[in-house]
Amino acid sequence: MSELIYNITMIFQIFMFILSGYYLVISIFGLRLKEENTDDVSPEKTFALIVAAHNEEMVIGQIVESLKNQDYPSELYDIFVIADNCTDNTKLVAEKHGAKVYERFNSDKRGKGYALEWMFNNIFKMKKKYDAVVVFDADNLASRNFLREMNRKLKEGYRVVQGYIDSKNPHDSWITESYSISFWTANRLFQASRAKLGLSNQIGGTGFCVETELLKEFGWGATCLTEDLEFTCKLVLNGYKVGWAHNAVVYDEKPLTLKQSWYQRKRWMQGFADVASRFFTKLMKKAFRDKDLVAFDCALYTVQPFVVIGLGISVLLNFIQNNNGTGSGFNIFVIDSIFNPVVWKIFSVFQFLFTPFVMVLEKKLSKRILAFFALYSMNIFIMSAIFDNDTNFLVLALAHGLYLSLFLMVILWLEGKKSFKLFIWYLLYGIYTLTWIPITIQGIMDKNKKEWSHTKHTRQISINEIEGMENKSIA
């Protein structure tokens, strides 16, 4: 039995090590952005801007205003709002702000995917023809250059383009901060890196552009809980890649509480598990048949929920192995044989600072605050110099707590409340990351459930406020 546990643990850890290495190598290419064409590209493409809304009277006016104020000729685009099964004043508010509103009532086919499919068919039937459609959520705000960047990418030859998804409320709570950190790093290390390597980017559910003719050719047909991932898989299977517009920013409102976040991320994992069960094998077949790295990379992306579970199983098996005294597993071999204690501590510091470093690259964090993170990370060396390996756990915990408390007092004194709060929230980001494990398990178990969880919005933020905050010095 011990030998069986050892062998299973070894297989899991080798697999996870290789997979993690694959993602690490790709992410490195995102540290330096791909050089973009800086020549002024004349506005040419026509756009149908579609905003999907369900009971969004609180925020619908702001997204319409941000789209009306695009730095793009107004005669080249129109704004459409889908008032989908609305029981509030979404229609009236949207019309008041100048949008063309299409009401849809269907109690059987509920959800954004169905609403978009219905609206696309309406667009196809219109006398006025558009080169492309762009999809937004009702709680979004679009940067003024959004359509100019999409026009640029379409003229470069891309037929599907994803914009940069940012947060419009990053500092509202530790949950919104955690969401924002994950999106900022994904934009740089996942999306920008793939654009640089010639792989396909992933549609992010909002802020994406699709050529109308391509949409007609393949049909939307994506009505699961993650219709964006489903449509991306369809494109890759048919030989198309999703482009990336790093400078076309769409600001998305993040959930304020862990409960809201849990429901949303569970829905994402349900959709991932559903799409993976239908597309992973097809994508892998294409990858090996056509020697297609784009399909291979997309296939790996679809199984993220199972990768998370695999990591959990690997940790559990390693724990069982160690307690049964069955010898060293793969990760123990790596740590004990390849990394000596000093090198391992350096690696831990690097791991802690990597995300703040990416935030600096994305201009979401100042170099000054990064320096404070670097100073704090030295605790791993300080504590090992003061205490030996036989020190009582409670004593170590108390020492680490005292070190953190003193460090926070210094930050509060020198940098103020904003930096103090930011530092604490970054430490809590680790907890946010760990919650993915139970959320993923729930998502996989409920992958066939199609219920739609609507997030209620309770505040208004304008694009002018966003731009004002970004123009201020970074904390």
Residue % of the chain over a pLDDT of 90 = 58
Q: Where are the beta strands (DSSP E) in 54-130?
A: 77-84, 100-104
Stretch (H or E) spanning 247: strand 243-252
The mean pLDDT value of the chain amounts to 86
For residue 469, what pLDDT band results from cuts at 50, 70 and 90? low
Q: Is residue 452 pLDDT above 60, yes or no?
A: no
Alpha helices, DSSP H, located in 126-164: 146-155
Range in 21-25, 261-265, 308-312, 380-384 the model is least confident about: 308-312
Res. 473: pLDDT tops 60: no
Q: For 100-205, where are the E strands, in sequence order?
A: 100-104, 132-137, 141-142, 160-167
Confidence of residue 462 (pLDDT cuts 50, 70, 90): low
Long-range Cβ contact pairs of 84-89 (< 8 A, separation 24 or more): 84/52, 84/53, 84/54, 84/110, 84/112, 84/115, 85/54, 85/110, 86/53, 86/54, 86/55, 86/56, 87/55, 88/55, 88/56, 88/57, 89/57
Give residue 453's pLDDT.
56
Structure tokens given for 8? 């299973």
* DSSP class of 378: T
Rounded to 10 deg, the angle between the 341-361 and 174-186 helix axes is 90
The first and second tokens of residue 267, run together, are: 């829905």
Contact 139, 460 (CB under 8 A): no
**251: which strand partners?**
141, 166
pLDDT value of residue 338: 45
CA atoms within 13 A on the CB side of 232: 31
Q: For residue 309, give both structure tokens.
A: 């579970």
The pLDDT score that the predictor gives to residue 472 is 58
Neighbours of 352 (CB within 10 A): 18
| pLDDT tier, 323 (very low <50, low <70, confident <90, very high otherwise) | low
Phi then psi for residue 127, to 5 deg, are: -65, -40
Question: Is the distance from CB of 414 to CB of 289 less than 8 angstroms?
Answer: no
Residue type, position 271, single letter: G
Residue type, position 298, single letter: C
Split at pLDDT 50, 70, 90, the class of 335 is very low
CATH class (in words) of the domain with range 36-302 = alpha beta
Which one has a higher pLDDT value, 304 or 299?
299
Among 457, 375, 450, which Cα is nearest to 415's?
375
Is residue 165 a contact partner of residue 252, using CB atoms and an 8 Å limit?
Answer: yes
Q: State how far the Cα of 55 lies from the Cα of 52, in Å rounded to an integer.
A: 10
Kindly state the average pLDDT of the residues 315-339: 50
DSSP assigned state of 105:
-
pLDDT at 339: 46
Q: Roughly what angle, to the nearest 10 degrees, separates helices 293-302 and 258-289?
A: 150
pLDDT of residue 451: 56
Mean pLDDT along residues 185-213: 95
Instruction: Summarize pLDDT for 356-382 with one digit per residue, the tens.
Output: 999 999 999 999 999 999 999 998 888
In this structure, what token pair is assigned to residue 396?
Answer: 């170590």
User: What pTM, to 2 d.p., does this model score?
Assistant: 0.88
Q: Which amino acid is at 5?
A: I
The pLDDT assigned to 147 comes to: 97
Question: CA 138, CA 207: separation in Å to the nearest integer?
Answer: 11
Name the residue type at position 346: I
| Domain edges within the chain | 2-19+307-434, 36-302
Q: What is the residue type of 433?
A: T
Kindly indicate the confidence band of residue 104, based on its pLDDT and cuts at 50, 70 and 90: very high
Q: Could you write out the three-class secondary structure of 283-342?
A: HHHHHHHCCCHHHHHHHHHHCHHHHHHHHHHHHHHHHHHHHHCCCCCHHHHHHHHHCCHH
Dihedral of CA atoms 66, 208, 261, 256 in degrees, nearest 10, equals -10
Q: Scan for tokens 């940069």, then name that residue.
A: 164
Q: Which one is predicted more confidently, 143 or 473?
A: 143
Dihedral sign for Cα atoms in the order 57, 60, 65, 66: positive
Which residue intervals of 198-303 are DSSP H helices? 212-218, 227-237, 258-289, 293-302
Q: With contact defined as beta carbons under 8 Å apart, do 193 and 29 qualify?
A: yes
**pLDDT for the residue numbered 332:** 46
Query: What would the pLDDT profile of 249-267 be if each residue is shown by its tens digit?
Result: 999 999 999 999 999 999 8
Mean pLDDT of 275-290: 94
Per-residue pLDDT band for 396 (boundaries 50, 70, 90) equals: confident
With bands split at pLDDT 50, 70 and 90, how would you rate the model's confidence at 456? Answer: low
Per the CB < 8 A criterion, the answer to whether 55 and 90 are in contact is: yes
pLDDT at residue 328, as a whole number: 44
Give me the helices (H) in 29-77, please. 60-68
Q: What is the pLDDT of residue 336?
A: 47
167 - beta bridge partners?
252
Residue-wise pLDDT for 404-450, tens only, equals 999 899 999 998 998 999 999 999 998 998 898 899 888 888 777 66
- Residue 331's pLDDT is 47
Residue 466 has pLDDT above 80, yes or no: no
Confidence of residue 191 (pLDDT cuts 50, 70, 90): very high
Q: What is the pLDDT of residues 144-162, one digit of tens each?
A: 999 999 999 999 999 999 9
The predicted-structure confidence for 336-354, as pLDDT tens digits, reads as follows 444 456 777 787 888 899 9
Q: How confident is the model at residue 307 (pLDDT cuts 50, 70, 90)?
A: confident
